[in-house]
Amino acid sequence: MFHLLEQLEENGAATVSSTELGRQLGVNAYSVRKDISYLGEIGNCRGGYAVSKLKNHVSEKLGLNTGRSVCIVGLGRLGTAILHYERLAVSGLTIVAGFDSNINKLETIRTNIPLYPAHEITTIVKRGGIELAVLSVPAQAAAETAKRLIDGGIRGIVNFSPAVLSPAPGVFIRNIDLVAEFRIVSVLSLLNIKN
């Protein structure tokens, strides 16, 4: 949704209607209006929403403009891919550190982002006031690593490992199990025609 607004703005569109937004997002116009209305009114009934105004409005209400610091824990292929992901940088998130338990690996990765061994997680997170973390370590290391992050005072974790992390107070955890996603597609593509 936000990405679409940015695209529209780049293309020089001044306004956009809920119908059009819905079409491009693959949902109906009701939902679009409902969602937008939760953030308070803004539309100028005649010509739809003013694109840049709506973008800023959403951005502000959701706190998307407040830059937040992120660290990547586990620099395997997936972790490294995220470390270099450009789209993150342009979305208010700054990657400020990377961690891996394999010290040799830290030296082979080319980046300007500072990298540290895994045992320093708690210290660095605490010192740098790092708010969010990406967990891309093997399943068996997930619980231990998460504990270190939480001890450092992390506020949110995006967990790519298949292990389900035990919830901690004040820490928001989002699990993304890639293999499960593939299974979903695999199963559902067999069954029905509609999404």
Q: Exactly one of 47, 92, 114, 129 binds a second copy (CB under 8 A); which one?
A: 92
**Residue 29 binds a second copy (CB under 8 A):** no
DSSP character at residue 46: T
Of 46 and 77, the one with the shorter C-beta distance to a second copy is 77
Task: Please count the residues of this chain forming the interface with DNA, following the rule CB under 7 A.
Answer: 21
Choose the one of DNA, a second copy, none that binds residue 2, judging by a C-beta under 5 to 8 angstroms depending on kind. a second copy
The residues that bridge with 93 in the sheet, in sequence order, are 68
Residue among 59, 130, 67 nearest 98 (CA):
130
* Residue owning tokens 């997680």: 121
CA distances from 28 to 14, 17, 31, 38, 48 (A): 21, 12, 6, 16, 15
Choose, by CB under 7 A, the member of 31, 123, 166, 189 that binds DNA: 31
Nearer to DNA, 45 or 179 (CB): 45
100: β partners:
117
Residues at the interface with DNA (CB under 7 A): 17-19, 27-31, 33-34, 36-37, 41-49
